[in-house]
Amino acid sequence: MEELAKKARLLMGIVMTLAGVVVVLFVTLIAYHLNPAAFRASPVAENGSTPEASAPVATVPTAAVWHPRSIETDLPAGERGKQIRYGYQLISETPRWLGPHADEPALRLAGNELACKNCHLGAGTKAGAISFVGVAQRFPQFRGREGKMGTLEDRINGCMERSMNGQELPTQSAEMQAMVAYIQWLSEDVPEAKLAEYKGLPAFEIPAIKADTVQGKAIYEAQCQACHGTHGEGIRQPGGGAGYLYPPLWGADSYNHGAGMRRVLTAAPFIKANMPFGVSWENPRLTDEEALHVAAYINHFERPHKANTAEDFPDKKLKPVSTPYGPWEDPFPAEQHQYGPFPPIVDYYQKTFALKKTN
Ligand code: HEC
Ligand code: HEC
């Protein structure tokens, strides 16, 4: 009798435990349904610290939490670390080191007071903003604009002469070597899956329409002017520091007419993925058409002129379709190369030369 009661109590215990487990699971399920974010492991930074309590919980699965190397936490020790840091400074505070008013006269090689990071956001660590992550491995490469193989140093000098409206930096200079070291360091140990995400500009559906500067002006006034100014002149660093808090988009101190950003089909995806400042390629604010209109608007104003651009692209077939200056290897008028509609030009190169154009 005693034995039977014992067994019954045991059975009752098991049943109660199981019921308890079911209740706990059920409550957890409801809680998860109400606030799934609370159930994700909080990301741990590479230096082992957890982010501040106020930081939003990451909305990506932890397995995908990879980030480019940080100058704050990941710099190697010794001479190499110093060189990489200098490269980072040159790219972040370019006017201070290479601008027209730089301390060292021999280094006044940039013609404007832009910084590399004004276009290569996060000093080359932001995806969707022509990042430097993974770039080093892609050089040397064939360069259509020059019609020959080019090194990473040549590519940097392309931006010196056009985006920075200036002159080439000597390949052996400490400054060139430091920028290359920084870009190489950012390009090391990048997971395969991240290389595509960090490469260049995000995919952009070329709208079938012609860009309209009247609509572009309205978008500019509503979404850009507060930072970039009524006349695209930007806002200088407060306190008289070199360069800009918000860089100019046209006029005498902007990139020249031979720069990549001058092409509407390069500027539009950049703007869509990065502007107004704070948006990302995954979370844009402008539509493809709006980005096209505003890109054409900022690029239809006067800006410095680059000499000898007729010599660019010795093989004219390789010229991007929105290159606004001729000559071109096609029958389309100059105006269409500047404002579109671009799909007919893209189709022409596909049919005539079997070339797939994206910008
Ligand atoms: C006004 C914007 C702008 C500025 C300023 C600028 N760049 Fe660029 N840069 C671009 C654009 C646009 C491209 C891509 C052009 C293309 O694909 O044709 C590019 C490409 C590059 C690339 C090749 C990237 C790749 O994915 O292959 C490197 C390296 C580079 N720039 C370095 C620099 C450095 C260093 C500076 C400063 C000295 C600088 N850039 C300043 C706009 C800019
Ligand atoms: C909140 C301020 C802000 C707004 C609004 C804003 N930008 Fe910018 N923009 C910036 C900053 C800051 C940079 C430079 C980024 C850096 O250095 O990190 C920049 C860089 C740029 C650049 C590349 C650098 C250059 O000088 O050419 C372009 C092009 C640009 N913005 C276009 C636009 C357009 C078009 C809009 C409106 C759709 C816009 N921006 C709205 C702050 C802003």
Ligand 2 site, residue 164, Cβ cutoff 6 A: no
Name the DSSP class of 67: -
Least confident among 40-44, 104-108, 167-171, 256-260: 40-44
Residue 7's pLDDT is 63
Read off the tokens for 21: 């487990």
Read off the tokens for 259: 């720069």
d(CA 330, CA 343) in angstroms, rounded, equals 13
Q: How far is the CA of 114 from the centre of ligand 1 (A)?
A: 12
- Looking at all shown ligands, the one closest to residue 89's CA atom is 1
Q: Does the pLDDT at position 59 exceed 90?
A: no
pTM summary value: 0.86
Ligand 1 site, residue 120, Cβ cutoff 6 A: yes
Q: Does the pLDDT at position 24 exceed 60?
A: no
Ligand 1 site, residue 179, Cβ cutoff 6 A: yes
Q: At 236, phi and psi to the nearest 5?
A: -70, 160
Residue 52's pLDDT is 39
Q: Quick one: CA dihedral 267, 268, 272, 276, positive or negative?
A: positive
d(CA 30, CA 32) in angstroms, rounded, equals 5
C-alpha distance from residue 165 to each of 112, 172, 236, 303, 336 (Å)? 6, 21, 18, 10, 25
Residue 119's CB: how many other CB atoms inside 10 A?
Answer: 20
Assign domain 78-198 one CATH number from 3.30.750.210, 1.10.760.10, 2.30.30.90, 3.40.1440.60: 1.10.760.10
Read off the tokens for 156: 């940097």
161 touches 306 (CB < 8 A): yes
Q: How confident is the model at residue 65 (pLDDT cuts 50, 70, 90)?
A: confident
Tell me the average pLDDT of the chain.
Answer: 89
Q: How confident is the model at residue 35 (pLDDT cuts 50, 70, 90)?
A: very low
Residue 39's pLDDT is 40
- pLDDT tens per residue, range 243-295: 999 999 999 999 999 999 999 999 999 999 999 999 999 999 999 999 999 99
Ligand 1 site, residue 255, Cβ cutoff 6 A: yes
Ligand 2 site, residue 228, Cβ cutoff 6 A: yes
Please report, rounded to a whole number, the percentage of residues in the chain having pLDDT higher than 90: 81
Query: What mean pLDDT is predicted for residues 204-228?
Result: 98
Query: What mean pLDDT is predicted for residues 189-193?
Result: 95
Ligand 1 site, residue 337, Cβ cutoff 6 A: no
Name the closest-CA residue to atom 2, ligand 2: 227
Q: How confident is the model at residue 8 (pLDDT cuts 50, 70, 90)?
A: low
Ligand 1 site, residue 155, Cβ cutoff 6 A: yes
Read off the tokens for 112: 């404007």
- Looking at all shown ligands, the one closest to residue 312's CA atom is 1
Please report, rounded to a whole number, the percentage of residues in the chain having pLDDT higher than 70: 82
Q: Does the pLDDT at position 37 exceed 50?
A: no
Q: How far is the CA of 317 from the centre of ligand 1 (A)?
A: 22
Ligand 2 site, residue 332, Cβ cutoff 6 A: no
- Looking at all shown ligands, the one closest to residue 99's CA atom is 1
Residue 34's pLDDT is 46
345 touches 357 (CB < 8 A): yes
Ligand 2 site, residue 121, Cβ cutoff 6 A: yes
Q: At 335, phi and psi to the nearest 5?
A: -60, -35
Residue 47's pLDDT is 37
CA atoms within 13 A on the CB side of 70: 7
Ligand 2 site, residue 296, Cβ cutoff 6 A: no
d(CA 31, CA 13) in angstroms, rounded, equals 27
Name the closest-CA residue to atom 5, ligand 1: 116
Name the closest-CA residue to atom 42, ligand 2: 277
CA angle 134, 135, 138 (to 5 degrees): 105
Q: Ligand 2 pocket: which of 244, 277, 289 to mutate (most atoms <8 Å of CB)?
A: 277
d(CA 207, CA 339) in angstroms, rounded, equals 11
- pLDDT tens per residue, range 232-242: 999 999 998 89
Q: How confident is the model at residue 12 (pLDDT cuts 50, 70, 90)?
A: low
Assign domain 213-353 one CATH number from 1.10.260.30, 1.10.760.10, 2.40.50.90, 1.20.58.60: 1.10.760.10
Name the closest-CA residue to atom 34, ligand 2: 224
d(CA 267, CA 288) in angstroms, rounded, equals 11
Strands 141-143 and 244-246: unpaired
Query: What mean pLDDT is predicted for residues 212-218?
Result: 98
Ligand 1 site, residue 157, Cβ cutoff 6 A: no
Residue 59 CB partners (closer than 8 Å, separation 6+): 37
Q: Of 200, 195, 185, which Cα lies nearest the Cα of 120?
A: 200
Residue 220's CB: how many other CB atoms inside 10 A?
Answer: 19
CA atoms within 13 A on the CB side of 69: 21
- pLDDT tens per residue, range 87-142: 999 999 999 999 999 999 999 999 999 999 999 999 999 999 999 999 999 999 99
Q: How far is the CA of 292 from the centre of ligand 2 (A)?
A: 15
Ligand 1 site, residue 135, Cβ cutoff 6 A: yes
Ligand 1 site, residue 123, Cβ cutoff 6 A: no
236 touches 243 (CB < 8 A): yes
Name the DSSP class of 62: G
Name the closest-CA residue to atom 12, ligand 2: 246
Read off the tokens for 63: 């397995």
Residue 310 host element (H or E)? none
Q: Does the pLDDT at position 58 exceed 70?
A: no
